[in-house]
Structure 1
Amino acid sequence: MPSVTGPVVQPLTPPAGSTINFGATVTGIDIENLTDADFAIICEALFTHQVLIFKGQSHVTPRTQYELTNRFDPAATSYGHGKTVDAKRSILHPDLKTIPHQPQVQVIGNGFVPEYEGLKNIQLRHPHHKTFHATTIPETDDLTHTRFYRWHIDAAFYGLAPPIVTTLLAVKVPSGRRQICRYDDGSGDELSVPLGTTAFVSSYTSYDILSPPDQEFARTTKVEYAPHPYIWMSGAKSRPDGLGMVSEGKEIPLEDLPPIEEDKVQILPMCWKNPVTGKLALQVHPSAIRKLHLGDGTIVEDLKEVRDVVHRLQRPGIGPEHVYAHDWEEGDFVLFYNRGVLHSVVGAFAESEVRLFRQCNVAASELPVGPDEE
């Protein structure tokens, strides 16, 4: 039914031991019946809180999900991850199933689904760290322990501007057990998480907790992303904390990638400015990076050095106290500011545990704004 009193935005209460200062629940609203006034409140709340949670939205259609996602940037027309002439080599390829009647919306999850929104007999695969990380948790611990799969931004980083928002709808959610998410990076850090959580961290916090010299470095540095990054990185493996790649020379050589159009290679600020608050986010996709362009004109091309620098800057921001691990319930509709948070798939499911979600993001019409831009 249409909202009567309008949306009520309630910031999340951090759990014991947490310092999260982002995220909010939104009540008093039906996404199928948004007014312009409702949307204005949601829009400001998104830029303020980064992650918005709407409960009880199972009835939201794929069309409405796309229309809401696109409403944040009506000039946007492309899919969020775009298409590539060589999609089957992309590391994203196995994880996404497209809804035939609403191709901007993908189905993700785990297990066998006989039929859903025009898709038939689909086998969903929840990304598991053993397919992407250089080291793995022992098989005997697989159902009790897990890792952050890949901290990332939803974006093509080649030719298409990073989406402003991503929307996720939980259609079917296994429940009951929790897992211990391990960092396995020598820190001893770990975090108890709900099964199949989506983990978020604020990139504003990641910037704010840097030392003043590191903040200056981040403000004045730009990041060059690899062409066709999800194909380029397909031979490489991730660090155990899911924050970037191990440098073993396993990236696909540039000459073996699909044709590269130089004007589509993206060099973006390391810090992205929030359009409402003006705050700076340390917003870097650590797996897709290839070079750093420093403020003095120096270009750092050594891939291991580039990765080590970015990991050192971003690692404090994914500490357990800064992670919001959403405990999904069926009907949860989560909208997050893709230019202000990093997020990660988490968890390991048994084959019999079926999880079904819908995801939508749309490549933006403009690139993100850096510290000194308007």
Structure 2
Amino acid sequence: MTLDIRQLTPGFGAEVRIDDIARFDEAAFSALRDLWVTHGILLFRDQELSEGAQTALSRRFGELEIHVRTEYLSPDFPEILFVSNMQKANGEPLGILADRDVGWHYDQIYLPKPALGSLIYAVKVPPEGGRTYFADMAAAYEALPDDLKQRIEGRRAVQSYEHFNRSYSVPTSKTQKARTQDVTHPMVRTHPYSKRKSLYICPGMTTEIIGLPETESRDILDRLFEFSVRPEFVYAHDWQAGDGILWDNARTMHRRDPFDGRHPRLMKRTTILMPDALAAPF
């Protein structure tokens, strides 16, 4: 089956023009999954997506994560994480990450079994700000200078959720910390379906390269971070209410601009985990 698409950039991202993403038959879903692997990001405009429909669609791609930050989960569908600056009736934050800038990161890179994908749906958006940027880490890896490729070949790096929280979020509880201990992953991740290689590091959570002196580790990481977010690898998205974006988390890192906290913003995210047979090694 052929879906109606429009390229977002020459080699990364596509808009899928469809009235209701919750109503894919098997043929259409198979085509959608192929597009997802090919393009890395899929954008859907003008959707009316209930939490039940979002969860059901996401589950067709794989097992869903129940995020460690349980205080920000939907009370009806705990597979959904609220990303928001709004407050609950009792005055507590409704969602995670509020209105500040959020640096480059891969979702769930800090887990032993990391994420394969994410689907986020925009319910409320501010009139300006909050732009999200997505970086194609497969294209970045393929364009790396040979000396950098050689220096990271076979290397592993430390991924830390606490490092991210210190910069962009609020502290986790003792129980949450115990569930999100630092892990190591290969710095180059082979995609389970396309077999393309991607850089699997990010400024928000990658702290060091195993087996290298601190100064050398820092130098390599800084060079990789700077290289991987060159304009030719990045798609920038300005949100409209009703937008849904499905991205390939084996290939794509992202960040967000700040926005005026006087305006409400509510995004609902599901996270798709790797199938057990493909979870590790990469």
TM-score, normalising length from structure 1?
Answer: 0.64
Matched residues in 1 for 2:58 and 2:273: separation?
Answer: 10
Q: 2:212 aligns with which of 279, 300, 317?
A: 300
Q: Alpha-carbon deviations, 1:115-142, whole Å to 9, x = none?
A: xxxx99855563414xxxxxxxxxxxxx
Structure 2 residue aligned with 1:162: 114
Q: CA deviation at 1:151?
A: 0.3
Q: 2:5 aligns with which of 3, 9, 14?
A: 9
Aligned length: 275
Percent identity over the alignment is 22
Alignment of 1:30-45 (within 5 A): 30-45=20-35
Structure 1 runs of 4+ with >4 Å offset: 119-125, 232-235, 257-261
Matched residues in 1 for 2:88 and 2:262: separation?
Answer: 11
- Local SS of the residue matching 1:108: strand
Q: Report if the CA contact (8 A) 2:135-2:228 is conserved.
A: yes
Q: CA deviation at 1:342?
A: 0.8
Q: 2:194 aligns with which of 261, 264, 277?
A: 277
Matched residues in 2 for 1:65 and 1:278: separation?
Answer: 27
Q: Alpha-carbon deviations, 1:52-85, whole Å to 9, x = none?
A: 0011112x11122122222212xx3542xx43xx
Of the structure 1 ranges 201-210 and 214-223, higher mean CA displacement relative to structure 2 is found in 214-223
Structure 2 residue aligned with 1:224: 158
Matched residues in 1 for 2:30 and 2:42: separation?
Answer: 14
Q: Report if the CA contact (8 A) 1:126-1:348 is conserved.
A: no
For structure 1, list consecutive stretches of 5 or more residues without a partner in the other structure.
15-19, 88-92, 130-148, 178-194, 239-256, 294-298
Alignment of 1:93-172 (within 5 A): 97-112=72-87, 126-129=98-101, 149-155=102-108, 157-159=110-112, 161-172=113-124
Q: Report if the CA contact (8 A) 1:127-1:345 is conserved.
A: no
Structure 2 residue aligned with 1:203: 137
Q: Alpha-carbon deviations, 1:299-321, whole Å to 9, x = none?
A: 1263x543332121121121234
For structure 2, list consecutive stretches of 5 or more residues without a partner in the other structure.
169-175
Alignment of 1:177-216 (within 5 A): 177=128, 195-216=129-150
TM-score, normalising length from structure 2?
Answer: 0.83
Q: Report if the CA contact (8 A) 1:6-1:28 is conserved.
A: no
Q: CA deviation at 1:343?
A: 0.2
Q: Which has the higher contact order (CA 8 A, sep 6+)?
A: 2
Q: CA deviation at 1:324?
A: 1.1
- Local SS of the residue matching 1:103: coil
Structure 1 residue aligned with 2:47: 57
Matched residues in 2 for 1:212 and 1:172: separation?
Answer: 44
Matched residues in 1 for 2:103 and 2:76: separation?
Answer: 29
Q: Alpha-carbon deviations, 1:253-310, whole Å to 9, x = none?
A: xxxx95599xx763322111223432211121333334424xxxxx1263x5433321
Matched residues in 1 for 2:267 and 2:155: separation?
Answer: 36
Q: 1:28 aligns with which of 15, 18, 42?
A: 18
Identify if the C-alpha distance between structure 1 residues 121 and 157 changes in structure 2 by more than 3 Å, giving closer, same or farther. closer
Q: CA deviation at 1:234?
A: 4.5
Q: Report if the CA contact (8 A) 1:50-1:341 is conserved.
A: yes
- Local SS of the residue matching 2:120: strand
Q: CA deviation at 1:216?
A: 2.6
- RMSD over aligned CA atoms reads 3.2
